[in-house]
Structure formats: structure tokens, C-alpha cells
Structure 1
Amino acid sequence: MLVLLVVFIVTAPLLTNAIPLKLPQTNAVAPPDQAKPLVVSVDKQGNYFLDTEPLSLEEVGARVREAHSQDPARGVQLRADENVVYAKVAQAMAVIQQSGITRLAVMTDAKG
């Protein structure tokens, strides 16, 4: 669990995501070039999405586990609305960790 607490704060273009979220703002660093990561989103109602597909938390875990078995180097970007209950984010992080993912980035918007 401690590994998940150490996350990369990155900024990425959000034009391809159709899930409306209000991300918290921070000063961020550009992400390194890597294979396209999976995007797990949590909207302000606490609903989970893998890319743009709404899924239950268990389904997200199964899909992330399957993707990890196909490409162990693939990472996950976790996007959560700033108004979502923290427990929903913690549950998503736990499911991602249990799937074997070691590369997790928590997404924010850049200030200014």
C-alpha cells in the first residue's frame, strides 16, 4: 500500500476523455514517453470508468488485471473529481494495486 502512496503528479491533455471531472489543480511535470496508459476515472458521484466505459469496481479490477497480464509495463492514470469521497479513490487505488500494476499516476490540472 505504501508503494501506491508514492505517485507521480502529471499533466496530460484531457481532450480525449469524455468523463466530465473537475480535477484539483497543482504545479505538475510533463509525463515521460511511455505506452498509452489505462485511464481509470472516478466522477463526483463515485462512479468508476475505465477509459470512457462505466464499470463496477470489480469489473475495473478485472480489466486492469487482464491488461497487466498482456503488458506488465503498462501504467494506469487515476483521474478523480476533486469533490469525490476519498474512500472511492482509495478503493480504486487498492483494486489497481491488487491487479499487479506498479505504475500509477494521479492526474491533476495545472494551476493558472
Structure 2
Amino acid sequence: MAFASFEQDDDGPMAEINMIPLIDVMLVLLIIFMVTAPLLTHAVKVDLPKESTSANQLPPENIQIAIGPDEQLYWAGEKVDADTLKARLQEAAAKDKNAEIQLRADQNVPYRSVAHVMSEAARLGLTRIGFVTDPSAAK
């Protein structure tokens, strides 16, 4: 920024803008807005009662399916055949699509038996499938 001196060679007007008055005006406006902004809120102080509420949502049903070492199917501990399993899966899917299947399979069961139960459940819309294992046996 060039400063004007008392000795001017040039008789033309000064081409620089003096920023000091503009900064002073902006600071004054900033202070005015900072002081008046809290006064613009017209809130009524009310002491509201405090209660705890929550939606009553039942957890989704768990369907226990087991596959024994001889590829025998069990529904909640009851021995069933493939057709009965399919019918019960249809009933469960009609009742609740969010039901979780907890599948217990013997470690010697061929994967095709497990895949058959999983694909039948997925085809009916039961996509939440959990595999149950025995954590104490793992070492």
C-alpha cells in the first residue's frame, strides 16, 4: 500500500481506497448483531414432565432347525421330514418375514443338506439365518 506524501509530483486524484472506515463500520455492525441476536428469541420457559417410553416391539421369532448326523431334520427338537419342514417354513414366513432361523447341523452332515434347508428358507423369504456352533469344542 502506497502512502501519500506531502510532496506530490502528480496533481491527479488518489486511486487507492481507504479501507479503515469500511473496517470500522463492519466491526460496529458485528457488535450490534452480536448484542441483539440473543434478544430475538422469544422462547417460553416450560418445565416439561419427564417420562420414558419406548415402542413395544417383540423380538422376531427364532426358528430352531437341526440336522442330525443321519441327515434327519428336526424342527424345535421334533423329528420332521422334508415336506413337513417346507410347510412349517411357509407358515413361519407368512407369520413373520423377520424370523431368524437358527440352524444346527452336525459336523459330519454333507453340505448339500444344509444348503437345501437354507435355499428353501430363502426362497420363502426367510433370509435371516444363523449357524449355531459349540464354542467349547473349538481349540
Q: Same fold (TM over 0.5)?
A: yes
In the TM superposition, what is the alpha-carbon distance from 1:86 to its structure 2 partner? 1.4
Amino acid aligned to 1:56 = D
Match of 2:102 among 62, 77, 84: 77
In the TM superposition, what is the alpha-carbon distance from 1:37 to its structure 2 partner? 0.4
How big is each residue's C-alpha offset from its partner over 1:82-105, in whole Å with a ceiling of 9 and x where there is no partner? 011111111111111122101110
How big is each residue's C-alpha offset from its partner over 1:29-48, in whole Å with a ceiling of 9 and x where there is no partner? xxxx9434001110000000
Preserved CA contact (<8 Å) 1:62 1:99: no
Higher relative strand content: 1
SS at match of 1:45: coil
In the superposition, the TM-score normalised over structure 2's length comes to: 0.53
Give aligned-pair identity as a percent: 28
The 2-side partners of 1:104 and 1:53 are apart by: 19
Amino acid aligned to 2:118 = M
Q: Indicate the structure (1 or 2) with the bigger Cα radius of gyration.
A: 2
Residue equivalent to 2:121 = 96
The 1-side partners of 2:105 and 2:129 are apart by: 13
RMSD of the TM alignment (CA)?
A: 1.7
Residue equivalent to 2:91 = 66
Higher relative helix content: 2
Amino acid aligned to 1:77 = Q
The 1-side partners of 2:61 and 2:88 are apart by: 15
The 2-side partners of 1:51 and 1:74 are apart by: 14
Q: Which segments of 5 or more consecutive residues in structure 2 lack a partner in the other structure?
A: 1-57
In the superposition, the TM-score normalised over structure 1's length comes to: 0.64
The 2-side partners of 1:57 and 1:92 are apart by: 9
